[in-house]
């Protein structure tokens, strides 16, 4: 909103500093600062309100050391995260930008699903919360919105290289040229294409239609494949973040690292100079995502102030479902969704640990008459707790793994 305000006031006088709002980096920095202020200042008030309303965590009896001490700790703290994301974004981002619109919808949509789940658990005294099928329906719904919009919206394009013959046939002004270090001329055009990035591969641009061609199917069905992939990614990462949110500061810290990495990827992908230098996909207008990401980074760090061990508040599904879905959507928008297994490796392993544990238990129960387990307890972080490792040490080590995976993700920009 402030961006448009200063644009509107510009003809009426030269307001000192107003020109700074034209710079994405400046507005992203303001978003981080504002998000931190909201988290620190209003977070304390929200925690007090949750305590007064007796919105406390009901902990399952898992037989873990220190578990009972968490009984009654305020939950639904994801409201702090949502407020710290939405308010700075509305203040400093260009809210007519389609990428920002999609991120705002994703945040509110998944935050609402998580809020309903927490509300049922806390106020209806139903430990199961919102039925799993309704969560999945909600995740599929936002996946459809994101997938259809990215595939069909005329503004969402990628800059691709075309041959000189194609460059001569298209309308004047739609083709840009640049020269590489060897003096060769390249012709680039912004086009609607279902492209993404494959890590560690030279010429790493990948079009989803090539999968259909390999299977002998018509390219016209590419939109179906793309939307199915988007739904799967958003659902998987959202659930992964939800499962990871089991120890104080674990999901928050890991998410902060992932968001910072995506912020860097969004900034270079939306900058024509950096994208050409790094030889990565240029995505016009996507640089505005840096403002949203700045707000989210500040929200994660600010919430971690209260969520670090010993936690004063838990984010609940209100925060965890939203965080995972936001990270997945960001990766999709900057066409780096195939990097998710690397960047979100912690979420992936936590997800797999539950799936393997449950599958193996059911298999051995059918075969031997009694269920057996691979881990002492799932998700994986509870397995380490059962081994006697202190909660804070587990969290710190998961953070370290998250940082290493983030560095590896960034390295893929040049290592091919």
Hey, what are 249's tokens? Answer: 């500061």
Residues contacting residue 385 through CB under 8 Å, at least 6 positions apart: 64, 65, 247, 377, 391, 394
Mean pLDDT of 50-62: 65
395 domain-assigned: yes
DSSP string, 113-136: HHHHHHHHHHHS--TT-S-HHHHH
Q: Is residue 163 part of a domain?
A: no
Mean pLDDT for the stretch of residues 250-272: 90
Q: Residue 178: inside a domain, yes or no?
A: no
Contact 112, 318 (CB under 8 A): no
State residue 179's pLDDT score.
60
Give the model confidence (pLDDT) of 327-354 as tens digits: 999 999 998 999 999 999 999 999 999 9
CB contact burial 29-48 (16+ within 10 A = b; e otherwise): bbbbebbbbbbbebbeebbe
pLDDT in tens, 188-246: 666 666 778 887 776 667 788 888 888 888 888 888 999 999 999 999 999 999 999 98
Angle (CA) 134 357 68, round 5°: 75
In this structure, is residue 40 part of a structural domain? Answer: yes
**229, 337 contact by CB (below 8 A):** yes
Query: Is residue 169 in some structural domain?
Result: no
Mean pLDDT of the chain: 85
Range with lowest mean pLDDT among 51-60, 261-270, 292-301? 51-60
Is 184 contained in some domain? Answer: no
Asked if the structure places residue 180 within a domain, the reply is no
pLDDT at 166 over 60: no
* Contacts for 165 with CB less than 8 Å, ≥ 6 apart: none
**Domain hosting residue 143, numbered range:** 2-157+192-411
For the chain, what is the domain count?
Answer: 1
Residue 155 has pLDDT above 70, yes or no: no
In this predicted structure, the answer to whether residue 91 has a pLDDT above a threshold of 60 is: yes
58 domain-assigned: yes
Does residue 144 register a pLDDT over 90?
yes
Percent of the chain scored above 90 by pLDDT? Answer: 48
Q: Yes or no: say if 213 and 206 are a contact pair by the CB < 8 Å rule.
A: no
Q: Does pLDDT of 371 surpass 70?
A: yes
> What is residue 413's predicted lDDT score, i.e. its pLDDT?
78
The confidence band for 104, taking pLDDT boundaries of 50, 70 and 90, is very high
Predicted pLDDT at 374? 92
pLDDT grade for 63, boundaries at 50, 70 and 90: low
153 compared with 182, residue with greater pLDDT: 153
Does the structure show a pLDDT above 90 at 326? yes
pLDDT at res. 139: 95
pLDDT digits (tens, 9 = 90+) for 31-51: 999 999 999 888 888 888 888
Asked if pLDDT for residue 161 goes beyond 80, the answer is: no
């Amino acid at each position: 909103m402030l961006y448009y305000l200063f644009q509107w006031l510009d003809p009426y006088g030269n307001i000192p500093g107003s020109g700074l709002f034209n710079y994405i980096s400046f507005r992203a920095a303001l978003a981080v600062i504002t998000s931190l202020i909201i988290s620190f200042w209003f977070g304390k008030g929200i925690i007090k309100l949750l305590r007064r309303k007796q919105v406390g965590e009901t902990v399952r009896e898992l037989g873990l050391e220190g578990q009972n001490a968490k009984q009654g700790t305020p939950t639904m703290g994801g409201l702090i995260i949502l407020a710290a994301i939405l308010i700075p974004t509305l203040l400093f981002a260009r809210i007519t930008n389609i990428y920002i619109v999609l991120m705002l919808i994703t945040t509110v949509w998944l935050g609402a699903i998580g809020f309903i789940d927490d509300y049922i658990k806390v106020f209806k005294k139903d430990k199961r919360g919102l039925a799993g099928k309704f969560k999945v329906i909600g995740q599929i719904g936002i996946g459809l919105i994101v997938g259809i919009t990215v595939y069909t919206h005329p503004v969402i394009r990628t800059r691709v290289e075309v041959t000189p013959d194609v460059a001569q046939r298209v309308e004047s002004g739609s083709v840009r040229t640049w020269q590489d270090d060897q003096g060769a001329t390249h012709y680039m055009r912004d086009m609607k294409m279902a492209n993404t990035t494959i890590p560690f591969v030279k010429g790493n641009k990948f079009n989803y239609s090539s999968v259909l061609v390999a299977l002998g199917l018509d390219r016209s069905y590419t939109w179906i494949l793309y939307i199915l992939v988007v739904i799967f990614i958003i659902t998987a990462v959202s659930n992964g973040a939800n499962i990871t949110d089991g120890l104080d500061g674990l999901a928050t810290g890991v998410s902060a690292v992932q968001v910072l990495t995506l912020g860097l990827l969004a900034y270079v992908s939306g900058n024509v100079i950096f994208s050409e230098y790094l030889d990565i996909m240029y995505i016009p207008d996507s640089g505005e995502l840096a403002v949203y990401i700045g707000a989210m980074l500040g929200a994660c760090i600010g919430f971690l102030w209260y969520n670090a061990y010993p936690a004063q508040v838990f984010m609940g599904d209100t925060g965890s479902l939203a965080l995972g879905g936001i990270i997945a959507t960001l990766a999709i928008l900057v066409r780096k969704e195939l990097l998710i297994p690397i960047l979100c490796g912690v979420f992936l392993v936590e997800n797999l640990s539950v799936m393997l544990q449950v599958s193996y238990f059911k298999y051995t129960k059918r075969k031997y008459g009694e269920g057996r387990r691979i881990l002492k307890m799932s998700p994986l972080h509870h397995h380490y707790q059962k081994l006697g490792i202190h909660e804070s040490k587990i969290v710190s080590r998961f953070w370290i793994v998250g940082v290493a995976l983030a560095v590896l993700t960034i390295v893929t920009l040049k290592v091919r």
